[in-house]
Amino acid sequence: MAIRASREVLIEAPRDAVMEALADVGALPSYSSMHKRAEVMDRYPDGRPHHVRVKIRLLGLVDTEILEYRWGPDWLVWDAQPTSQQYAQHVEYRLSSDDHGECTRVRIDITVEPVVPIPEFLIRRACGGVLDAATTGLRELALRDAGT
C-alpha cells in the first residue's frame, strides 16, 4: 500500500534561491536528521544533480537509495530505485513565485511504497519528520543562500 504525504510552505526567498537550495544535495545532512550521507553520482550539463546516492535512517531502519532527479524551470521530481525497504519512492517539488518574486510557495508531494506494511501511527510520525525536513530545512537553506 502506497503512503502519500503533502505539504505546502511559503519561503521568503526568490524561486531561484529555492531551486539552488534543492540542487545543493550535499547540504541534506545539515538540515535533515534522517539523511546521514548524500553524494551526487553524476550531473546534468547545467551542473544540477542527476543521480544521487543517499543514506537515510528513518524509524530505526537504515537504507541506501539511488535517486534520479529531473528538473524543470519551477519543479523538481525524483524517483528512487527499489531498495530492501521500499519498492518505490516518488517526490515532487512545485514552486510558484508571488507577484513580486520575493517569496516562493513550495508544494511537496511524496509517495512511498514500502516493502512491508507499516502501522498507521509510525506512518504519521515518519511523514511528519520527512515533511519537516523537506520544508523547514529547505527554507533555512534557501534563506541562507538568498542572504536573508
Could you read off the pLDDT of 108-125 as tens digits, one per residue?
999 999 888 888 878 778
Q: Closest Cα to residue 70, out of 131, 36, 22, 133?
A: 22
Number of compact structural domains in the chain: 1
- Amino acid identity at 82: P
**pTM (2 d.p.):** 0.90
Structural domain span for residue 63: 3-146
**Could you give the CA distance from residue 38 to residue 100 in angstroms, rounded to a whole number?**
34
CATH number reported for the structural domain that contains residue 119 in this entry: 3.30.530.20
Whether 131 and 111 have beta carbons less than 8 Å apart is answered as: no
pLDDT (tens digit, 9 = 90+) per residue, 42-101?
A: 999 999 999 999 999 887 888 999 999 999 999 999 999 999 888 999 999 999 988 777
Query: What is the predicted pLDDT for the residue at 105?
Result: 95
Tens digit of pLDDT for each residue in 12-25? Answer: 999 999 999 999 99
User: pLDDT at residue 145 above 80?
Assistant: no
C-alpha cell at 123: 506512518
What is the share, in percent, of the chain residues with pLDDT greater than 90? 59
DSSP assigned state of 62: E
pLDDT at 148: 62
